[in-house]
Chains A and B, each alone.
Chain A
Amino acid sequence: MADIVLDKVSKSFPDGTVAVQDVDLEIADGEFVILVGPSGCGKSTTLNMIAGLEDISSGELRIGGQRVNDKAPRDRDIAMVFQSYALYPNMTVRENMAFPLRLAKLDKETINQKVDEAAKVLELTALLDRKPANLSGGQRQRVAMGRAIVRQPKAFLMDEPLSNLDAKLRVQMRTVVSRLQKQLGTTTVYVTHDQTEAMTLGDRVVIMRGGAVQQVGPPQELYDHPRNLFVAGFIGSPSMNFLHAAVQDGALHTALGDVPLGDRVRRELEAADAPRELILGIRPEHFEDAELVDDDTRRRGLEFEAPAEIVESMGSDKYVYFTVEGERASAAELEELAADAGAADFAGTGGNLVTRLSAESPVAEGQSRRVWFNLEKIHLFDPATGRNLTLHEGRAAGALAD
């Protein structure tokens, strides 16, 4: 058990590329921290540096208060679960799990006892004599976990451990990982590119982009109070809607109508170098069918009318896709998010609005519908810097705040 501290840790390659830049992170003893971000954001490199599989170019890494920059992986007493599981194909499950213990020169009896214990926890007892080739994906994954927990290391490092599983198994294993971590109380650093895993698993989430940390915090905080456009777009599914907005005469012109501004935001926008063009961000659940909103709530928001293109009924609620006219929001962050999602456009931009309405809404495909959205929950971003302008002392306060 130990805490892990990254102090201005950087990684640069001889050809000049910087993979990780000045990462500051304090991971408390027993904490479950998720490193998340799109491909190439430096999260795996960061993990490998903690593991000792890659050199640290500058900065300091401390595990349990001890500087370990120059220590070999074997001397750091941490275990790692790989995306490919990295099970030794020439060894049985038992031998795989016993391998780290045998290297640590434990006596046979202790080894057997520990392996049996770990196998029991992970329900691997029946598989102990099989070779990895004869296991299913989920079983292999559990063996990889078993090999990590069996020697009770100071910390677990997990590099996208669930990404090779099918969707259903992934959900299942997610709870297994979560329960295991709570049970053992071992410091864990978990890398993933899947924002759902990030939201559900960790005590705290670290969002990375281009080698730099964007925001660190508990999942809900990142969701509610994203510090910038990138975090806002990365967290949440379906993702936040982004619309182009123009500032004119103290009001905000958008495709959904003119958004009134509270004093605080207005003051911010009156500064000499304030942007004239903004990006308006609204989460899908902050829309509602205007018919279903009571008057008191109605006052806190704005209404607009748009044709519903597609209606997906989820039972509990409805996802409705509206078509809206107007200029598209554009920013480097959004393009990057689109590229990561593998789409030409980031889902939240363009002429499409994703909304999550009550199941009672009678909205139908092809029909126009009046829709309300909550002004207290919207975010405004500076397209040039990506900064969230509605954020005040770390809390997002919507457009109306005084």
Chain B
Amino acid sequence: MSINATPAGAEVSAEAERPATVPTQRGGRRKTPLSENKKAERKLGWLLCAPAALVMVAVTAYPIIYSVWLSLQRYDLRFPDQREFIGLENYVTVLTNEFWWTAFGVTMLITVVTVAVELVLGMGLALIMHRALVGRGIVRTSALIPYGIVTVVAAFSWRYAWTPGTGYLANLFSDGAPLTERASSLAIIMLAEIWKTTPFMALLLMAGLALVPEDLLKAASTDGATAWQKFTKVMLPVMKPAILVALLFRTLDAFRVFDNIFVLTAGGNETSSVSMLAYNNLIRGLNLGIGSTMSVLIFITVAIIAFVFVKLFGTAAPGSDDGERR
């Protein structure tokens, strides 16, 4: 948890400072909501938050710690007698295993390519949804369908589309069976991912677009900016926070890719992602030790990605939501 704690930590300090500065700045007129009894307010606040906090922590923190404990053991459900503490041996096993690194590479590749493509497509879609002169409602409605649809369903659709015989796309574009070759399989997986999540990206970006003041664009127009200049010099800077939040969430989400691979290739032809590999080790291999080791490694990787994002781009922690407390 230590790495991931940073954004939350920043959040806490920012929160803690606010109440202290309010009274001095605004004197007696501030609208303290429930000043009658601060203590009661605190108690109520904790009481209301406790169930949510409890569930979230119980279902994530405890298992992840438990997972660290499991990862230090030899623990294969097929051979429960051989369970013993073996230190970091599982980590050595995983990290020297070529399957792990292949899966890691595949996951990284899928993450980078899909997020990059989604950013471009999503921006275009966001612009269409935001500015379209006609049919804005239709576009927004249809764009929501990929977001809402069950990933497995979409994956099946793509699978049948690319299966020779059944598929219209397979018949259209290729002679062979694209889902039996590594490169084309990966391409299809990425296509399915991009199709499914571009709308979400676009929605986040659209919210950012809405923050661009109309007057600013008019001012830029009168200053003689071209459409492209308006986009890069005016809109992008204002949208930067929204873009970073969208990128962060999508990157972490893409890194977890599982459903599409499961349905499309089941990890065949070296198309496994790390999630797929962890699943296989656990459910097919029933090897809790190795599975947990992978769980921990994935957790650490995600934490590093999040950390890098926040550090590198100085993303205002996306949770810092409460500008004006009333």
Taking Cβ atoms with an 8 Å cutoff, the residues of A that contact B are 11, 13-15, 17-20, 39-45, 54-55, 210-211
Contacts and interface: CB of A to CB of B under 8 A. Distances in A.
A40 B27 contact: yes
B27 A41 contact: yes
A6 B240 CA distance: 53
21 contacts: A11-B28, A13-B32, A13-B38, A15-B19, A17-B27, A17-B28, A19-B28, A20-B28, A39-B26, A40-B26, A40-B27, A40-B28, A41-B27, A43-B29, A44-B29, A44-B31, A54-B35, A54-B36, A55-B35, A210-B27, A210-B28
Interface in B1-35: 19, 23, 26-32, 35
Interface of B: 19, 23, 26-32, 35-38
A234 to B, nearest CB: 15
A14 B28 contact: no
A244 to B, nearest CB: 28
Nearest to B38: A14
Given A54-B35, A54-B36, A55-B35, A13 B29 contact: no
A15 B23 CA distance: 9
Given A54-B36, A55-B35, A55-B36, A13 B27 contact: no
A13 B22 CA distance: 12
Counting chain A CB atoms within 10 Å of each CB, which of B30, B35, B38 scores highest? B35
A164 to B, nearest CB: 16
A282 B38 CA distance: 47
A42 B29 contact: yes
Tell me whether chain B's interface is mostly helix, strand or loop, or mixed: helix
B36 A45 contact: no
A18 to B, nearest CB: 7
A17 B36 CA distance: 14
A19 B29 contact: yes
B36 A40 contact: no
A15 B31 CA distance: 14
A45 B23 contact: no
Nearest to B27: A40
Nearest to B39: A14
A54 B32 CA distance: 9
Contacts of B35: 13-14, 54-55
A39 B38 CA distance: 23
Contact of B29 (A14, A15, A41): A41
B203 to A, nearest CB: 25
Counting chain B CB atoms within 10 Å of each CB, which of A18, A19, A41, A210 scores highest? A19
B31 to A, nearest CB: 8
Given A17-B28, A54-B35, 10 more contacts: A14-B35, A18-B28, A20-B28, A41-B27, A42-B29, A44-B31, A45-B28, A45-B29, A211-B27, A211-B28
Contacts of B37: 55
Contacts of B23: 13, 15, 17
A107 to B, nearest CB: 35
Contacts of A211: 27-28
Contacts of B27: 17, 19, 39-42, 210-211
A54 B23 CA distance: 16
A265 B29 CA distance: 38
A111 B28 CA distance: 39
B28 to A, nearest CB: 3
Contacts of B29: 19, 39-45
A281 B166 CA distance: 94
A11 B36 CA distance: 10
A355 to B, nearest CB: 33
Nearest to B35: A13
Nearest to A20: B28
Contacts of A45: 28-29
A210 B27 CA distance: 7
A337 B305 CA distance: 52
Contacts of B31: 44
A19 B38 CA distance: 16
Counting chain B CB atoms within 10 Å of each CB, which of A15, A39, A210 scores highest? A15
Contacts of A20: 28
